[in-house]
């Protein structure tokens, strides 16, 4: 498999007069071609720092990163020509219309006038922005401006796309039109690094996940890889009939109204299902959501931060 991005021992320390902060610590990560990588982590985890280094707008302070086989420090121009980025909190130039923004972006990347015009029209339509094509950016709402930024990078021929919270502030339908554009880009074998706090979004789109916390990579791999490394990959909902004693030691128990929610391991889940069947009790179960995985992995890391006890993962 061709690796489109490879980080080796990547580190970044921000220094200022009288202080410093380690935003990335020894991160090893690779992203194969055609994959959507969901880059997850709490506020301040280091996601934007990672994206900015990959997009050649920030230098690492240790380790290295290659994008499309080029070193991001020594061959920044080669990398820039073949990637496209939506930085976190960026806004388009306010005096240009939505159509002009996409067209000029494509022209700047070397497309002909007619190519740029056609591509801009199609991408704006895909993102349900056609009716805003001739409206100046300063007259668009925040969410519409964000979608115009998405249209700019999606319309380009860039092989690797970095989207730093592209859907923050978008309404649920607009988010879905962005999801469709991301899926289409992935089906064209483009590689996408997607940062998001919406874990349903990461779950719907990502082939691979990487979870950062405090600048360290806590877990990476396919969603199944990550699920296989937590203690409680199953969520069981019990509608009464089980005593506290029966559930003791099986996992993490939470009561929600009349229902009992249990996060547990595969074996324990099977055993509970057998018992429920024998005793005619109502039970439902399934793998935990990405949000539950995130809470288990990052939550454990935080609670163990100052203790030398068991790590967050099962193995
Ligand atoms: N220019 C800077 N100078 C000093 N510290 C910085 C700078 N930029 C970021 N940091 C710090 O580095 C850490 C990582 O920041 P980063 O922006 O990469 O986080 P993030 O994961 O993108 O967070 P969010 O989800 O809030 O966007 C944070 O603790 C932040 O305060
Ligand atoms: Mg960020």
Which tens digits make up the pLDDT trace of 209-218? 999 999 999 9
- Classified as helix, coil or strand, 258 is coil
Using alpha carbons, list the distances in angstroms from residue 9 to 35, 168, 193, 209, 303: 22, 30, 19, 18, 25
Ligand 2 mean position to 150 CA, how many Å? Answer: 17
Q: What is the pLDDT of residues 65-109, one digit of tens each?
A: 999 999 999 999 999 999 999 999 888 889 999 999 999 999 999
Q: What is the pLDDT of residues 241-291, one digit of tens each?
A: 777 788 888 888 888 888 888 899 988 889 888 888 888 888 899 999 999
Residue 243: predicted pLDDT:
78
Confidence grade of residue 1 (pLDDT, cut at 50, 70, 90)? low
Q: What is the pLDDT of residues 110-119, one digit of tens each?
A: 999 999 999 9
Taking the CA of residue 197 as reference, the ligand 1 atom at the shortest distance is: 25
CA 227 to the chain's CA centroid = 16
**Which ligand sits nearest to residue 49's alpha carbon?**
1
**Which ligand sits nearest to residue 52's alpha carbon?**
1
**Strand blocks (E) in the chain:** 3-16, 19-32, 36-41, 62-67, 70-71, 83-86, 160-164, 191-195, 208-213, 216-221, 234-238, 251-256, 259-264, 283-287
Ligand 2 mean position to 165 CA, how many Å? Answer: 7
Task: Please give all residues whose beta carbon lies within 6 A of any atom in ligand 1, as ranges.
Answer: 14, 21, 23, 41, 43-49, 88
Confidence grade of residue 313 (pLDDT, cut at 50, 70, 90)? low
Please list the helix, strand and coil fractions of the chain in percent, rounded to the nearest 5, in that order.
Answer: 40, 30, 35
Nearest protein CA to atom 24 of ligand 1, as residue: 43
Q: Are strands 259-264 and 251-256 parallel, antiparallel or unpaired?
A: antiparallel
**Which ligand sits nearest to residue 214's alpha carbon?**
1
Q: What is the pLDDT of residues 41-66, one digit of tens each?
A: 999 999 999 999 999 999 999 999 99
pTM of the model: 0.91
């Amino acid at each position: 498999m061709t690796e489109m991005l490879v980080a080796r021992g990547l580190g970044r320390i921000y220094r200022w007069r009288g202080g410093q902060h380690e935003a990335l610590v020894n991160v090893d990560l690779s992203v194969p071609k055609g994959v959507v990588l969901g880059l997850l982590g709490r506020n301040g985890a280091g996601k934007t720092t990672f994206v900015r280094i990959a997009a050649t707008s920030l230098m690492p302070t240790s380790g290295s990163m290659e994008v499309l086989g080029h070193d991001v420090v020594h061959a920044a121009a080669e990398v820039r020509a073949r990637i496209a980025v939506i930085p976190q909190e960026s806004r388009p130039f306010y005096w240009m219309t939505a159509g002009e923004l996409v067209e000029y972006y494509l022209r700047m990347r070397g497309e002909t006038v007619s190519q740029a015009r056609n591509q801009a029209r199609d991408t704006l339509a895909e993102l349900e922005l056609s009716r805003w094509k001739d409206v100046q950016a300063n007259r668009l709402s925040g969410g519409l401006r964000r979608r115009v930024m998405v249209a700019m990078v999606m319309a380009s021929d860039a092989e690797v796309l970095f989207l730093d919270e592209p859907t923050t502030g978008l309404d649920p339908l607009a988010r879905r039109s962005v999801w469709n554009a991301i899926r289409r880009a992935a089906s064209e074998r483009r590689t996408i690094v997607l940062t998001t706090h919406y874990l349903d979004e990461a779950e719907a789109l990502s082939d691979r996940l990487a979870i950062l916390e405090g600048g360290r990579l806590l877990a990476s791999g396919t969603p199944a890889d990550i699920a296989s490394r937590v203690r409680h990959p199953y969520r069981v909902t019990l509608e009464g009939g089980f005593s506290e004693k029966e559930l003791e030691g099986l996992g993490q128990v939470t009561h929600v109204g009349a229902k009992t929610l249990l996060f547990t391991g595969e074996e324990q889940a099977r055993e509970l299902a057998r018992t429920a069947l024998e005793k005619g009790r109502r039970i439902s179960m399934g793998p935990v959501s990405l949000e539950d995985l995130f809470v288990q992995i990052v939550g454990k890391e935080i609670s163990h931060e100052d203790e030398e006890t068991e790590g967050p993962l099962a193995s």
